[in-house]
């Protein structure tokens, strides 16, 4: 009488583990650990075409000491009058981003159509401060950004 | 059978039992402690790692070549970085697609790039698609340096400027 052949087969895991180890090594070596994105802007001056109705725009003038002067353009007179002079003081030569956020949020509440923000830096303004302002504006819903040349 | 197998060589003796002064085990019959590795859980862990690494594998990671001394600024609200003409500012020097360019010749170089872009993207040009420029600079760079690139891109007709940033 023939004995029944066992049907329990075992997979050789050693080769599989070797393959997985090589895969992990390769992927770890080629992995990109930093995520690079981009901050997209339109050219500030001349970018806004004269197409009939102009959209309100928030101009941010960066002063040499790091303080910011905010100015509204093409906004309804009532709002313009209320927010005629907005100033954000500097902290250690850098813009006070928290104060700027508060002012922009307040402005956005009064003028929801405000989606354009233009930054006018000075020669000595640091690139990271400009990006910081752009990031803040985007967070507050001002998606059309621009930087004015000197 | 175990004595002849390979397991005997890899088996571990209990060091505590061998060191016992009252009843040392090494003199008498050897007690074998065979250690087996649970391979199934190891394979599971490896599989999860491979899947995670494959998912985080970025195919667009080679768009920018960043110098070790260059620190990009950080931002939260970023867009996906696309492959555009790259203008790099490193130690006050300007590079267009890794080719060093003098400040005076930047507009001419960008015009040249724009011209070649228009030739290779004829269909897109018909759809009013505009070429964009990616600026890569250190976070401490003064706007005085950046301004020349912004002005030159404006003169060369690049309406969209993308600033390369690190995602927070």
Residues 6+ apart with CB under 8 A from A149: A44, A45, B147, B150, B151, B154
Q: Residue B75, Cβ neighbours under 10 Å: how many?
A: 23
Residue A113: inside a domain: yes
Q: Output the CA angle A84-A60-B77, nearest 5 degrees.
A: 125
> Does B146 contact A at CB distance below 8 Å?
yes
Residue A141: inside a domain: yes
Backbone phi and psi for residue B137, each to the nearest 5 degrees, phi listed first: -145, 160
- pLDDT at residue B155 in the model: 87
Question: Per the structure, how many domains does chain A have?
Answer: 1
State the 10-residue block means of pLDDT for chain A, 150 residues long: 71 86 91 82 58 77 89 80 80 88 89 88 91 92 87
Domain ranges for chain B: 6-55, 74-167
Task: Write out residues 60-119 of A within 8 Å (CB-CB) of B.
Answer: none
Q: Residue A96, Cβ neighbours under 10 Å: how many?
A: 17
- Cβ pair B161:A28 closer than 8 A: no
Which has more pLDDT, A147 or B19? A147
- Which one of A38, A43, A131 has the shortest CB-CB distance to B79? A38
Q: Rounded to whole angstroms, how far apart are CA atoms A56 and A42?
A: 16
Closest CA to A112 of A75, A78, A82, A77: A75
pLDDT higher than threshold 70 for residue B6: no
Q: For position A140, which CATH number holds?
A: 3.30.420.270
Q: Rounded to whole angstroms, how far apart are CA atoms B113 and B119?
A: 10
Residue A32: inside a domain: no
Residue A114: inside a domain: yes
Residue A23: inside a domain: no
What is the H or E stretch that residue A33 is in? none
CA distance B122 to chain A (A): 23
Residue A18: inside a domain: no
Residue range(s) defining the domain that contains residue A73: 42-46+54-147
- pLDDT at residue A47 in the model: 47
Instruction: Report the pLDDT averaged over residues B112-135.
Output: 78
Residue A87: inside a domain: yes
Residue A19: inside a domain: no
Backbone phi and psi for residue B82, each to the nearest 5 degrees, phi listed first: -110, 165
A37, A101, A122, A129: best mutation site toward chain B, by most B Cβ within 10 Å? A37
ipTM metric: 0.76
- pLDDT at residue B157 in the model: 84
């Amino acid at each position: 009488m023939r004995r029944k052949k066992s049907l329990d087969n075992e997979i050789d895991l050693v080769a599989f583990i070797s393959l997985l180890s090589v895969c992990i090594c390769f992927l770890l070596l080629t992995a990109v650990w930093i995520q690079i994105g981009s901050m997209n802007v339109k050219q500030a001056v001349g970018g806004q075409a004269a197409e009939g109705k102009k959209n309100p725009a928030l101009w941010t003038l960066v002063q040499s000491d790091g303080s910011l002067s905010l100015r509204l353009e093409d906004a309804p007179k009532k709002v313009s009058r209320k927010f005629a002079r907005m100033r954000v003081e500097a902290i250690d030569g850098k813009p006070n981003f928290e104060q700027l956020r508060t002012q922009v949020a307040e402005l956005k509440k009064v003028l929801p159509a405000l989606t354009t923000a233009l930054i006018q830096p000075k020669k000595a303004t640091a690139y990271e401060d400009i990006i910081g302002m752009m990031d803040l504006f985007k967070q507050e819903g001002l998606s059309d950004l621009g930087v004015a040349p000197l | 059978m175990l004595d002849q197998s390979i397991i005997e060589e890899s088996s571990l003796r209990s060091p505590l039992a061998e060191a016992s002064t009252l009843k040392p085990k090494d003199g008498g019959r050897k007690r074998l402690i065979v250690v087996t590795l649970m391979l199934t859980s190891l394979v599971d862990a490896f599989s999860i790692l491979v899947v995670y690494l494959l998912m985080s594998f970025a195919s667009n990671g080679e768009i920018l070549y960043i110098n070790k001394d260059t620190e990009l600024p950080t931002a939260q609200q970023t867009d996906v970085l696309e492959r555009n003409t790259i203008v790099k500012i490193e130690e006050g020097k300007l590079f267009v697609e890794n080719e060093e360019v003098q400040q005076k010749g930047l507009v001419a170089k960008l015009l040249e790039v724009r011209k070649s872009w228009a030739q290779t993207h004829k269909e897109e040009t018909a759809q009013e698609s505009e070429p964009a420029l990616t600026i890569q600079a250190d976070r401490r760079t003064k706007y005085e340096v950046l301004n020349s690139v912004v002005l030159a891109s404006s003169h060369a007709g690049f309406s969209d400027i993308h600033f390369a940033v690190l995602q927070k």
